[in-house]
Amino acid sequence: MGISNLKSRIDEEISRKLDIKSFSSTTTTLHIADLGCSVGPETYSAMQDIVESIELKYISEGLNSQIPEFLVFFNDFSSNDFNTLFSALSPNKKYFAAAVPGSFYQRLFAERSLHFVYSSHSLQWLSKVPADLVDQNSLAWNKGMVFYTNAPKAVVEAYSAQFAEDMDSFLCARAEELVRGGMMTLLMPGLSDETPLSECSHCMLYDLLGSCLLEMTQMGLVSEEKVDSFNYPMYIASPKELQGLVEKNKSFIIESMEMVSPLTMEDEMPSAQVFTMQLRDGMQKPIKEHFGAEIDLDDLFDRFSKKIADSSHLIEENYKKPNHLFMVLLKLGD
Ligand SMILES: C[S@@+](CC[C@H](N)C(=O)[O-])C[C@H]1O[C@@H](n2cnc3c(N)ncnc32)[C@H](O)[C@@H]1O
């Protein structure tokens, strides 16, 4: 699901804050990375837009003769279908392209080699499920649940601690890879500081999927033990939480941080099928890895689609509120 005015927000930040003068005299190739790019199509337009915004910035500063060439690194796990991604790249694109496989929670690029980092809808994925959630002796044992929305405090804390650890690894890796003044724009599902967890629109969707899994357990279609040991490896952060993590890391300044909406009040809500397809895209892999052949994924997502259709008013009400976190960070000097 796109964010309606994200392009103009990124354009504005590049125009206002990207310090091209600090690298224009020495840089003939500008390096941009999309972290968690998947297989398209969102990454194509995002990368093209960023390249065009940076070109405009050079022109507006009278540096036409110094407009660099652009090299875009498309990053995702090595299991990502990079062939599909690269076979649909436009022949008219204004950049060279390369794939960089691997987890963005580790170093992926050479020291001080990146000028711009973009990541959309990827940082909510944790590097792993916190171990305590499946430890029967831990207060954070998440028996009978697959997420933290209605779980005991210890479960919420275990998730939040894992997110903090991952975010710190992400920021440390990028701090080494970005040049001074390099910009990072990050978009991820979020929860505004004022919204209680019980009203988190993303969590509602995950909880609906969780209720389908529990229903299938009650019907004997999947084993209870498998559901007890399954937890979504994702986390929905708030601006306050992220601000604290960035400040603690000390490598970046926060240029901008705001909650944005995927839909305006006038937009049509996506259908239950579209919601199901999008959720299935992300969730299918961890579910399949955990449950193996035991689970009928079509059955699971059919149940989910029906539940979405039944709760459409609730989802619409919540989905039109700002529920994504958009953040712009600038790399500080060493
Ligand atoms: C929902 S897709 C987002 C795709 C695209 N960026 C967009 O905005 O539509 C999330 C992507 O992040 C990738 N991803 C999740 N964790 C990652 C990690 N640690 N390192 C690299 N990629 C990761 C997933 O493989 C997936 O392709």
Concatenated DSSP letters of 226-276: HHHT----B--B-HHHHHHHHHHH-SEEEEEEEEE-SS-TTSPPPPHHHHH
Mean pLDDT of 311-323: 76
Residue 165: inside a domain: yes
Nearest ligand 1 atom, CA 282: 1
Cα separation, 95 vs 29, whole angstroms: 10
What is the model's pLDDT at position 164? 98
pLDDT of the residue at 145 = 87
Assigned domain for 199 exists: yes
- In whole angstroms, give the CA distance from residue 117 to residue 177: 10
Q: Rounded to whole angstroms, what are the CA distances from 98 to 76, 86, 123, 182, 187?
A: 12, 9, 21, 20, 22
Nearest residue (by CA) to ligand 1, atom 12, is 36
What average pLDDT does the structure give for the chain? 91
36 lines ligand 1 (CB under 6 A): yes
pLDDT for 199 equals 83
**Segments forming the whole domain that contains residue 267:** 6-331
Residue 283 lies in a domain: yes
Give the CATH number of the domain where residue 131 resides: 3.40.50.150
Mean pLDDT throughout 235-247?
A: 97
Report the C-alpha gap between 329 and 18 in whole angstroms. 10
* Ligand 1 touching residue 76 (CB < 6 A): yes
Confidence of residue 1 (pLDDT cuts 50, 70, 90): very low
Burial of 219 (0-12, 13-18, 19+ CB in 10 A): exposed
228 falls within a domain:
yes
282 lines ligand 1 (CB under 6 A): yes
Q: What H or E segment, with its residue span, contains residue 179? A: strand 178-189
| Probe target for ligand 1 pocket from 122, 125, 169, 205, with the most ligand atoms within 8 Å of CB | 122
Are 300 and 287 within 8 A, CB to CB?
yes
Q: What is the arithmetic mean of pLDDT over 45-72?
A: 94
- The answer on pLDDT for 304 being more than 60 is yes
In a domain, 45, yes or no: yes
pLDDT at 65 over 60: yes
- Answer whether 120 contacts ligand 1 (Cβ < 6 A): yes
Residue with more model confidence, 175 or 293 = 175
Residue 1 lies in a domain: no
Quick check: CB of 33 below 6 Å from ligand 1? Answer: no
Mean pLDDT value across residues 7-33: 89
Task: Determine, yes or no, domain membership for 257.
Answer: yes
pLDDT of 26 over the 50 cut: yes
- In ligand 1, which atom is closest to the CA atom of 103? 20
Number of structural domains (the chain) is: 1
Q: Evaluate whether residue 258 is within a structural domain.
A: yes
pLDDT at 301: 95
> Does the C-beta of 121 come closer than 6 Å to ligand 1?
yes
* Residue having the nearest C-alpha atom to atom 27 of ligand 1: 38
**pLDDT for residue 165:** 98
Q: Which of 7, 38, 283 to mutate to test the pocket of ligand 1 (most atoms within 8 A of CB)?
A: 38
Taking residues 120-141, report their average pLDDT: 94
Query: Could you report the per-residue pLDDT of 259-283, keeping only the tens digit for each?
Result: 998 766 667 777 888 889 888 988 8
